[in-house]
Structure 1
Amino acid sequence: MVYGDVPSMNYWKLFVKNEPHERAEINHDERLIEQYLQYLTPHPASLSPKERKAQAQAITCFGFRDWGKEPFEAGCHIWKPGILVDQSIAALASFGVADSISQRKFISVAKLILISRDSLKEDFAQP
């Protein structure tokens, strides 16, 4: 998942296809695959078109959820290769929100929604 703050969140708004945006939009805009691969590839220009196509074809399911919209009004982060996601989520969940000035006393951690053919397919948690 890709985290967006100002000004990048305005960029990602272009990927919202359905309003009101009440849940993830799955497999709606294939430009997301290219943007995701561009973000994760250290030197994207060094890949041949054949390598880029193979990377894109490895992604069998993709989606977009704008966490900046109600009821969340928050962001999320992309997990780079090599990060132990379960440990990272546990560390994030350990942050308390009891002292938050917001009346919403919760923290939301989303799941990765780009799934490759080589990975286990997880259900995408809908809000």
Structure 2
Amino acid sequence: MSDFEMLAGRISDIRTEEDGAHASGIEKRVVFSPNRHWSDYVARHFAVSEGTESPFHSHPWPHYIFILSGRCDATIDGTTYPLEGGCWAFVPPGVEHSLRNTGEGSFEFICIVPPEGDPDAVK
């Protein structure tokens, strides 16, 4: 059965990509995309190692973030929000942002972007 035909599964079984575009110590798994059940968006699972921080960056698309576990500081447009499992964050288009793991162990989150936010996921 192809990835597109799969209707359920474990996130840990999805191929891991090192998210080197942002920082080492960040693993990415594409859960849903135009290639897998969601034509309009890309839903990625990220695991961020203890002490890891993504560099500040911005881009012309929004992020929709759901924190699954662990703790982080999300700095969005100059304001820092302490977040933990069960929290959410929205990053508007064009706004500088960064996530920093502030807990012990990794923190994990789901980040949803339009396809232009993760062009590798739609190849």
- Same fold flag (TM > 0.5): no
Bigger Cα Rg:
1
TM-score w.r.t. the length of structure 2 is 0.29
Report 1 or 2 for greater relative contact order, CA contacts < 8 Å, sequence distance ≥ 6: 1
The two structures have a TM-score, normalised by structure 1, of 0.29
